[in-house]
Amino acid sequence: MEDSTLDNREANFPEYSILGKELTTFILQAGFVEGIVEDSKVFQDLNEAYQHIFRNNKEYAIILWNGIPIRLSYIEDIPHMVEALIEFLDAIQHKKNTSFRVATENNQWQLDATIIQHDLTIQSNFSQLSGNYQSAFETVSLLKMEANEFLNEWKLLLEQLVTAMDRSGCTLTTKKGHESLERLRKLTNSIQK
């Protein structure tokens, strides 16, 4: 039988770049949030609160960045990035150029966002990912999409954060903590779908 597979050298297009709505993707699949216990504990900020609230959760949220998955742990990643995420998404919603830096035990990366009218361009730098496959992003580091579509992808995760805080009965003791939670609620409510 004859080998019908293509020679990989023929399929190599070094001039090809991923640009444009139809060629780039950002999808966020939130995990199933489990184990929320109503214990009405008190914390200073969202970071501490979510570490406690999600302590029993074994699920992951998955980001698909131009088709490549990034796993976010509800225990080890999301609590440590929630306040910076609120800042990042709020800036995008208000059409401001911004950056989002994630530095957790599993993941270290930075997203630099630029907005022109309604178009969002994000340049990423994935320096460490759980599984050590950050080099896979070198050729797909750029993301271009409509800003509201990007925000829409975060809606379910943001709703989970708000709901988890409400169901846990946890309260925040600092002014910064109260302001962050209020911004989270406002951001969640302002994203339409």
Q: What is the reported pLDDT for 182?
A: 97
DSSP 133-154: -GGGGGGG-EEEEEHHHHHHHH
For a pLDDT cut of 70, what percent of the chain falls above it?
Answer: 88
pLDDT digits (tens, 9 = 90+) for 168-190: 999 999 999 999 999 999 999 99
Average pLDDT, the chain: 88
> For residue 27, which phi and psi values (nearest 5 degrees)?
-130, 135
Burial of 157 (0-12, 13-18, 19+ CB in 10 A): buried
> For residue 100, which phi and psi values (nearest 5 degrees)?
-135, 115
pLDDT digits (tens, 9 = 90+) for 82-118: 999 999 999 999 999 999 999 999 999 999 999 999 9
Classify strands 26-29 and 60-65 as parallel, antiparallel or unpaired: antiparallel
Q: What is the reported pLDDT for 68?
A: 93
